Amino acid sequence: MAIPISQDVRKLLAFGSAVGVEIGASALEVVAVRVRPSRIHVLGRMVIANYASRPAADWGAEYGAFLKSIGMNHLSATVLLPRSEVIVRQLAMPGVAAGDRLGAIRLQLDTLHPYGDDEVCWDWTSIGTNTVLVGIVRREVVERYARLFSEAGIGVASFTFSAAALHAAVRLDGTSGQSFLAWSRTPTGSVEVYGESPSRPVFSAEFQVEPARAAALALAELRLPPGTEPRTFEAVLPQPAKNPVENDLSRNALPYATALAGACPRLAPAANVLPPEHRRYNSRALFIPTVVLAVFGVLALAAMMMFSRFADQRYLQKVQAEIAQLEPQARRAAALDRELDLTRARSRLLDQFRGQTRGDLDALLEITKLLPPPAWSNSINITRDQARISGEAPQAAPLLKVLDGSPLFENSEFLTGIGRGNGTETFQIRANREKHP
């Protein structure tokens, strides 16, 4: 979770260094940055070409030499996974406490990806008061890349994805709450867009269309005015005070954004789908300046909390007074609700009683129709569940089938044996009345 502090304090706590690595189709792009409260320095950039077809030890040595040349060989890398390997979902969680979000996401994780029973690696980050951003990757993919970097001798602290990296990097200098749309060309020629708005905390997509068409589609998703001017990734990211010429942000700013996301993970957290057993963190000594500044930040927060405690208590007293004033009305409303429920129950009971008489008459009429002359009955006893019929007929046995064929009766049976005399048969039949909703 991001630290809930003001933008000015956030800028003062922006202190760290990181290496961002973007995994491309045929090359790895590496950017190293140093972040300080007043400036960001890009220490260097390199491209490792044809990494997939070369021995990992060879290009790993190139990477190590690059970090050593800028004095950052102690840093672990923050790696940006390819878009095609990551499923990104936004989840709205109104009313879910921050401490319960992990469990809530885990409960519905199987519905968020198309991988079925395949094992996945996932992580999430908060992108608003009631919204989280979830990234899901097949475990097979994560372990393949983790094994590749391990063979190259490169320590990796995080595997993240573009939406999470951009969301974190934009907020590194304390900027947040602004509506914008940004875009960039990918190495494959498609258009990647990223935007934020009050209606959509984060929108990230890749389009195989022209930039103007992609911008129009993204603005519609963000509910922003059609005339909103799209910006580049370079324009929305914090601008470096020092940037070597080889780090052309206008060509590809994602490795730079990835490095910014890894520089200050406590201030601008990005989702990390790399399992803990594969993570290799930086030297703890590097966190000493951050810890010192964090202590000052905590002290400032404590002073602010003490200053505002009195106002909070007064506000609580006012709220409690309002509650006490409205409580009698609330009790009266609850009593009226109970009386209304009781009246409805009585009305349903009366309707049920009225329906019983009609049902009994229908049953009697049905029996009259089912016993045609010369059959006749001398006794009919109808209850809620059964009908008992006594009488005479030329043939009594077929009467059971006749009664069961009626929609009002079922499971007919003779209570006594069939009596015979004077050319007729006497019978006593019990038939169950069918239940209807």
Domain coordinates of the chain in residue numbers? 7-175+238-282, 182-229, 369-433
Q: Tell me, which fold does domain 7-175+238-282 have in CATH?
A: Nucleotidyltransferase; domain 5 (3.30.420)
- Identify the residue whose tokens are 């930086």: 282
pLDDT at residue 177, rounded to an integer: 64
Query: Matching CATH topology for 7-175+238-282 and 369-433?
Result: no
pLDDT at residue 132, rounded to an integer: 93
pLDDT at residue 317, rounded to an integer: 87
What pTM did the predictor assign?
Answer: 0.63
HSE-up of residue 145 (Cα within 13 Å, Cβ side): 28
Question: Is 153 within 8 Å of 58 (Cβ atoms)?
Answer: no
pLDDT at residue 165, rounded to an integer: 94
pLDDT at residue 408, rounded to an integer: 85
pLDDT, tens digit only, all 437 positions of the chain = 444 555 566 666 778 899 999 999 889 999 999 998 888 999 999 999 999 999 999 999 999 999 999 999 889 999 999 988 999 999 999 888 888 999 999 999 999 999 999 999 999 999 888 899 999 999 999 999 999 999 999 999 999 999 999 999 998 876 666 899 999 988 778 899 999 999 899 999 999 999 999 999 999 999 999 889 999 999 999 999 999 988 889 888 999 999 999 998 877 788 999 999 998 875 444 556 677 788 888 888 888 878 778 788 888 888 888 888 888 988 888 888 888 888 888 888 787 777 677 888 888 888 888 887 888 788 888 888 888 888 888 888 888 888 888 888 888 888 888 888 777 888 888 888 876 54
pLDDT at residue 102, rounded to an integer: 92
Residues paired with 231 in a beta bridge:
182
Q: Which residue, among 134, 139, 166, has the nearest Cα to 20 in the 3D structure? A: 166
pLDDT at residue 194, rounded to an integer: 95
Q: Cis omega before residue 374 (within 30°)?
A: yes
pLDDT at residue 6, rounded to an integer: 57
Q: What angle do CA 401, 405, 406 make, to 5 degrees?
A: 130
Residues 6+ apart with CB under 8 A from 80: 20, 21, 22, 23, 160, 161, 162, 165, 254, 255, 258
- Cα 125 from Cα 132, distance rounded (Å): 6
Considering only the top CATH level, what class is 369-433?
alpha beta
